[in-house]
Amino acid sequence: MINDHTKASTHRSSTRLKEVLIHLRERGFLKYVGRNLLFIILAYAFIVFLVYLTGKYLVDYNRLFQGLISHLSDGFVIFLFFISESFTGMIPVDLFVVWTQKFNSPLPYLALLGILSYTGGVISYQIGLWISRLPRVKAYTERKLSNYIELVGKWGGAFIVIAALFPFTPFSLVVIAVTMLKFPFRLFLLYALARLVRFVIQGAFFFDLLKVDSWIG
């Protein structure tokens, strides 16, 4: 009896997932993700190739990297990251991921960046609520973020997850767009958890798969 109930529940979940995927495909979500993933892969491949060539023939990345991090305190880097993730998200996350490699055990610092980014998203949500109470500022923000607002309205939480996981768009700006549509805060907190995952994945990609740390130190 329990097995039958479990099978039925699994079947319903599978059916629901298929329906969601079909719905997203019809609304162009999968096409959007595929196109942007291809762009990201090509962009990263070009950057990796460029960094490799310049590191081999032109630049001593070890000296450059050590020089940069020696002039910036850890507290300042963390503060700068938190401010960026809370307000604009315009500073590339990749730079901060590279920064974690100065430590013998970078994983805790990657986790810290993920937590700070998630917290920054919550602050961005509150900023969006504040903006929503100011008619002129809200109208200006809606014009500037119209594309993000449209995508959130079309794809809902799925777009929040994608924005949290991938560098398609600045996460902070997407969160502010979310508030323009009065997206439920509890659901936002749930979908935004994907932000925690991004830093661990990106750290593994950079330093386990590409071995970038061997290029810079």
Q: What is the pTM of this model?
A: 0.70
First vs last C-alpha separation in the chain:
59
Task: Give the tens place of pLDDT for each residue, 30-65.
Answer: 676 677 666 666 765 666 666 556 656 665 555 655
Spans of the chain below 50 pLDDT? 5, 8, 11, 210, 215-217
Indicate the domain borders of the chain: 60-216
Q: What is the pLDDT of residue 130?
A: 93
What pLDDT sits at residue 67? 57
Tell me the two tokens of residue 65.
């990297």
> What confidence score (pLDDT) does residue 122 get?
94
Contacts of 207 (CB under 8 A, 6+ apart): 101, 106, 213
| pLDDT the model gives residue 95 | 79
How far is the C-alpha of 159 from the C-alpha of 191, rounded, in Å? 9
Per-residue burial over 92-115, b = 16 or more CB atoms within 10 Å of its CB, e = otherwise? ebeebbbbbbbeeebeebbeebbe
Spatial CB neighbours of 40, under 8 Å, sequence gap ≥ 6: 166, 167, 168
Q: Specify the 3-state DSSP secondary structure of 200.
A: helix
- CA–CA distance, 114 with 111 (Å, rounded to integer): 5
pLDDT digits (tens, 9 = 90+) for 136-155: 999 999 998 888 888 888 88
Specify the pLDDT at position 162: 85
